[in-house]
Amino acid sequence: MANKLDVFETITAQIVAQIEAGAGTFQLPWHRIGCTGFPSNVASGNEYTGSNVLVLWCAAASKGYTSPVWGTYRQWAAKGAQVRGGEKATVGLFFKPTVYQDKTTGKDKAGAYASAFSLFNAAQVDGYVGAPTATPDALIDATERLTHADAVFAATGVAINHGGDRAYYSHNTDTVTLPPRGQFLATATATATETYYATVAHELSHASGHKTRLDRRQGDWTKTARAEEELVAELGAAFVLAALGITNSPVPDHAQYVASWLSVLKNNPKAIVTAASAAQKAANWVLGRGLPKTATEETPIAIAA
């Protein structure tokens, strides 16, 4: 059990460090200023998902890596590349299917066992001649990306109304309300358009939790539950924007949640993995696609005790 907790604590520590480093300016690990897309694996070409995306984004931001390509020591060796001496690995997480005994019922249940693995970026190796991968959405121009994003958002079926001076999702009416587009202002790191699309993606990520969809909402909201849901929406928006090739920029109104997110993560090492898994599902609902399966991370059914 201790070893499994160490895995979660290591993952959480990496992300918390990056949140704390940028909290003063609300520049968080999932804000991809001037950068879009997902990290990918050098052997399979698959994009990473869930908490691994956050971990690798964190590492890239803190160490200045510009390549999205990652691999284990053996995977790089198989490509004829050599990890340079002294380079430190970034710890990722994957789940192995397992069967465990439910403590309440005593019956066997299908679950997943969390294990860590070490990854190195292309910037940490010598002899790699491959080109960084690019997602199809990153290859089209800005106007086409925004037109595509509008179509994706409309396809969710959630009504998006404009009016008033605040952005929110109403669970009761199942609608998103936003200020008029002209009221969104540019910030030091984002255009007004980027701020608008980041806000839409955030509110639609909330909408994914409706009982007719992913059914994430149960019971009354506590302060912790609200913080957890806001974290899911924040991460979900980051995944959506990365998939659409739109720069994810800070939304100042969301800065109020940073302290509560840190509290949740520090009190529960598994919280970031749970939130990232829920955010991946939210993003895939918004994008209208099924949850991708990769060789590096599977969405856990349950984490064996």
Of the two residues 269 and 72, the one the predictor is more confident about is 72
Token code pair at residue 249 = 């920029």
Residues above pLDDT 90, as percent of the chain: 45
**What pLDDT is stored for residue 283 in this prediction?**
95
Percent of the chain with pLDDT over 70: 83
Question: pLDDT tens digits, residue range 207-222?
Answer: 999 999 999 976 667 8
Give the distance from CA 247 to its chain's centroid: 14
Q: What integer pLDDT is reported at residue 199 of this predicted model?
A: 93
Q: Is residue 232 part of a domain?
A: yes
Assess if residue 95 is contained within a domain.
yes
Contacts of 198 (CB under 8 A, 6+ apart): 190, 237, 241, 246, 248, 249, 251
Cα–Cα distance between 106 and 104 in angstroms, integer? 6
Q: CA-CA distance, 117 to 93, in Å (whole number)?
A: 6
pLDDT of residue 142 exceeding 60 = yes
Number of domains present in the structure of the chain = 1
| Listed range (8-22, 147-161, 276-290) with the worst mean pLDDT | 8-22
pLDDT at 15 over 50: yes
Rounded to an integer, the average pLDDT of 133-141 is 51
Task: Give φ, ψ of 300 to 5 degrees.
Answer: -70, 140
Strand, coil or helix: 255: helix
272 assigned to some structural domain:
yes
Containing structural domain, residue 77: 2-287
Contact 160, 180 (CB under 8 A): no
102: in domain: yes
Q: How confident is the model at residue 304 (pLDDT cuts 50, 70, 90)?
A: very low
Predicted local distance difference test score (pLDDT) of residue 94: 85
Average pLDDT of the segment spanning 41-55: 93
Mean predicted confidence (pLDDT) in 254-261: 79
193-206: per-residue pLDDT in tens? 988 999 999 999 99
Rounded Cα gap, residues 206 and 282, in angstroms: 8
Q: What is the mean pLDDT of the chain?
A: 83
Please answer whether residues 110 and 117 qualify as being in contact, where contact means their C-beta atoms are separated by less than 8 angstroms. no
Helix (H) or strand (E) holding 242: helix 223-244
**Does residue 192 belong to any structural domain of this protein?**
yes
In terms of pLDDT, which residue wins out, 37 or 200?
200
Domain assignment of residue 103, yes or no = yes
Which strands form 168-170's sheet, in the order they lie side by side?
159-162, 175-178, 168-170
Position 298 in a domain: no
Q: Is 300 part of a structural domain of the chain? A: no
pLDDT above 70: residue 273: yes
- pLDDT for 153-180, tens place per residue? 999 999 999 999 999 999 999 999 999 9
* Per-residue model confidence (pLDDT) at position 305: 27
